[in-house]
Amino acid sequence: QMAGPAPTPANGAAAVIEPTPPVRRVAAAATGPWAQVDLFGKGAPDNGAGTTHPLLQGLNDEQRAAVLCLNAPVIIAAGPGTGKTRTLTHRIAYLVDAHGVNPESVLAITFTNKAAGEMAARLAALLPPETAQAITVKTFHALGAQLLQLHHERAGLPPSFAILDDDARLRVLRHAVPELSAAQAGRVLDAIAAAKNRLQTPDAPDLDMDFAPE
């Protein structure tokens, strides 16, 4: 889970821990601003975690440190049940309430609809309703769909385009190529998905020849 916007000194809306020792940096980011910090282990930076703002009540020291840091992006590495979602939602609420960050400039991305709903509900419990509603909380699939809807012309799509689910994709393929068995159609869909992940077009010369157009 990640929350934005991109880090800028002007708005303070980045997610955040000052990389002060002891800090474990990822090797690829050793010379840049990004650092991976073990916030839920020993040696997490304090960064003023003793403050008494109401939104910090009930957080442990490491969680408060993650909420309070304002000057560097951070990756929180922790296992299930360690309070990552709680930390993230309190951080967003704290930035908005204590630092005046515009809620419309905050983007919280999740992988599942359930996680997005839970995050939105927690923000609604921490902030006034109109403020919480102004924060964008979506799955990355939903964000991608929104961007396509806003910029459909640039993507070469009609305004009323639809995104097919797995069942609909299978029906369309078997309608177009009725001689395919269900198992064959599934393999074709897997090949199409793999080609898309490689940003290949249908006429790509290195497309899997079993499924390439004649």
Q: What is the pLDDT of residues 36-81, one digit of tens each?
A: 434 344 333 444 444 788 898 888 888 888 888 877 777 788 888 8
CA distance 180 to 165: 19
From 149, 174, 205, the end of a domain falls on 149
> What is the percent of the chain where pLDDT is above 90?
37
Beta carbons of 167 and 186 less than 8 angstroms apart: no
Examine residue 158 and state whether it is found in any structural domain, yes or no: no
User: How many domains does the chain divide into?
Assistant: 2
In sequence order, what are the residues at sequence separation of 6 or more whose Cβ sits closer than 8 angstroms to the Cβ of residue 6? 14
In the predicted model, what is the mean pLDDT of the chain?
A: 76
Q: Are residues 184 and 114 in the same domain?
A: no
Q: Are residues 111 and 199 in the same domain?
A: no
Q: Are residues 72 and 176 in the same domain?
A: no
Examine residue 156 and state whether it is found in any structural domain, yes or no: no
> What is the percent of the chain where pLDDT is above 70?
72
Examine residue 157 and state whether it is found in any structural domain, yes or no: no
Examine residue 190 and state whether it is found in any structural domain, yes or no: yes
From 116, 149, 182, the end of a domain falls on 149
pLDDT digits (tens, 9 = 90+) for 100-142: 889 999 999 999 999 999 999 999 999 999 999 999 999 999 9
Examine residue 159 and state whether it is found in any structural domain, yes or no: no
From 149, 174, 201, the end of a domain falls on 149
Q: Are residues 137 and 172 in the same domain?
A: no
Beta carbons of 61 and 44 less than 8 angstroms apart: yes
Segments forming the whole domain that contains residue 9: 2-149
Query: What's residue 101's pLDDT?
Result: 87
Q: Are residues 206 and 138 in the same domain?
A: no
Q: Are residues 99 and 32 in the same domain?
A: yes
Q: Are residues 139 and 96 in the same domain?
A: yes
Q: Are residues 73 and 139 in the same domain?
A: yes
Of residues 10 and 176, more confidently modeled: 176
CA distance 142 to 207: 29
Q: Are residues 135 and 211 in the same domain?
A: no
Q: Are residues 59 and 102 in the same domain?
A: yes
Examine residue 52 and state whether it is found in any structural domain, yes or no: yes
In sequence order, what are the residues at sequence separation of 6 or more whose Cβ sits closer than 8 angstroms to the Cβ of residue 60? 83
Examine residue 115 and state whether it is found in any structural domain, yes or no: yes
Q: Are residues 24 and 110 in the same domain?
A: yes
